Amino acid sequence: MEEETHGSMANNPFEIAQHQIDIVAKRLKVDPGIIEIIKQPKRVLEVAVPIRMDNGQLRVFRGYRVQHNDARGPFKGGIRYGPGVNMDEVKALATWMSMKTAVMDIPYGGGKGGIICNPKEMSSAELERLTRRFTAEISSIIGPLKDIPAPDVNTNPQTMAWIMDTYSATMGIAEPAVVTGKPISLGGSLGRNEATSRGVVICAREAAKVTGAKLQGATVAVTGYGNVGYNSAWLAQELRMRVVACSDSQGAIYNPDGLDARKVGDFKARTGTVKGYPGSKEIPIDKVVELDVDFLFPCALENEITSTNVESVNAKIIIEGANGPTTPEADEVLYRNGTFLVPDILANAGGVTVSYFEWLQNLRREYWTEQEVNVKLEARMVKAFHEVYDIAKKENVHMRTAAFMLAVGRIASVMETRGLFP
């Protein structure tokens, strides 16, 4: 996520995702009809989700489940809650999940779900009723061999526990493999909570190797200090990188001498924001991506780096922890300026990789140690990074185009081999 068409695409993630596929289609010897299939989701479900609120009022929420492509395996992707959730966003995220699983060579396709709501204004009981009703509405199209949801923005292991329980009650059998990202007690995998961030930091380490950049003492700015941003920050510190800035929806902080990532996380857990962390200077949220740092980890939401601010980006290496933080036009400028960017469909694929490990453990009814999980994740991330990097060098393209070439090529190959039915 090379050139960008004008108009609404800059703010429409699904059009961006389709455009990214078009870019690599020109470089791949693939039937144009197959490309058209890959550009569209296989199934889109929109449901009304009525629940009784704590005050007795009946409210109807809008929910989505998009199943993009299952040529390589069951649909896989998270469910997010938020007031800004919309169909184009969910379609884009489902498309990127297909790309992500193909880049990692995991036998999954892509899916995504979402509910339009404001979870920060809802009680735990209301969120449970919302989740269970939504699960009931989509239960006919999900399942351990059909479509496996996972946590995403504003959802967590507890949300997955409610989905698993509702699905299991509906089907009359306990089925932990219907979702991933569950609590450990219900069959969740050790290492899953930090998996996305561990993948981000592995990519940062490999990027340093191929570019000749130093790692020890390298400065890092992190946008978004949720699960991915926070864990990426402290894992980077374990490699002796220096986290100098971070942000959340409330504010951004900066200290050129470095921040203690874990203490900032503890501060946010107590206060609800990183803003006001002792010993830091407050800076505008949108200026974090413009700081003169060695590494930038965008871990917030889509469209953080666009045509309007890309010329002000100073980071030498960008590792995308979030989905879709960079627009195609900005990609081209960064590449031209010599910035090395590891795209989302590779950089943040650690999460879905360990979700795959969790699913395998559930199907086999076994548990792996955290060390086993981390060793397997490391091997897959390093292999995928260098497969993408080799294509980038050979084809003289940036890493995102290389990643999409790898992903679309793998999906198209399976679709051509399987053929069309009927």
Integer Cα distance of 293 and 315 in angstroms:
5
Residue 370 lies in a domain: no
Please report which confidence band the pLDDT of residue 301 belongs to, taking 50, 70 and 90 as the band edges: confident
Integer Cα distance of 162 and 169 in angstroms:
10
pLDDT over threshold 70, residue 8 = no
- Choose the final residue of a domain: 117, 142, 175: 175
- Choose the final residue of a domain: 296, 314, 347: 347
Residue 400 lies in a domain: no
- Asked if residue 347 lies in contact with residue 103, where contact means CB atoms within 8 angstroms, the answer is no
Residue 382 lies in a domain: no
CATH number at residue 243: 3.40.50.720
Radius of gyration of the chain measured on its C-alpha atoms: 21
| Three-state secondary-structure class, residue 304 | coil
Check 39, 100, 112, 275 and give the catalytic one: 112
pTM of the complete model? 0.93
pLDDT in tens, 69-111: 999 999 999 999 999 999 999 999 999 999 999 999 999 999 9
Q: Are residues 263 and 132 in the same domain?
A: no
Q: Are residues 288 and 203 in the same domain?
A: yes
Q: How many domains does the structure of the chain reveal?
A: 2
pLDDT in tens, 363-405: 999 999 999 999 999 999 999 999 999 999 999 999 999 999 9
The label of the residue with tokens 């967590």 reads 156
Integer Cα distance of 243 and 346 in angstroms:
22
Integer Cα distance of 31 and 172 in angstroms:
44
Residue 28 lies in a domain: no
Number of helices (H) and strands (E) in the chain: give both, helices first.
13, 12
Other residues' Cβ atoms within 10 Å of the Cβ of residue 419: 6
Please report which confidence band the pLDDT of residue 10 belongs to, taking 50, 70 and 90 as the band edges: low
Q: Are residues 210 and 337 in the same domain?
A: yes
Task: Give yes or no: 376 in active site.
Answer: no
Q: Are residues 52 and 129 in the same domain?
A: yes
pLDDT over threshold 50, residue 62 = yes
At 414 the pLDDT is 98
Residue 93 lies in a domain: yes
pLDDT in tens, 22-45: 999 989 989 999 999 999 999 999
- Choose the final residue of a domain: 175, 203, 224: 175
Residue 323 lies in a domain: yes
> Closest by alpha carbon to 28, among 418, 395, 400?
395
Residue 403 lies in a domain: no
At 146 the pLDDT is 98
Residue 144 lies in a domain: yes
Show the tokens assigned to 142: 């999900």
Residue 88 parent element (H or E): helix 87-103
* Distance of alpha carbon 101 from the chain centroid: 11
Segments forming the whole domain that contains residue 259: 195-347
Integer Cα distance of 97 and 70 in angstroms:
11
User: Residues 326-353: what's their mean pLDDT?
Assistant: 95
- Asked if residue 263 lies in contact with residue 253, where contact means CB atoms within 8 angstroms, the answer is no
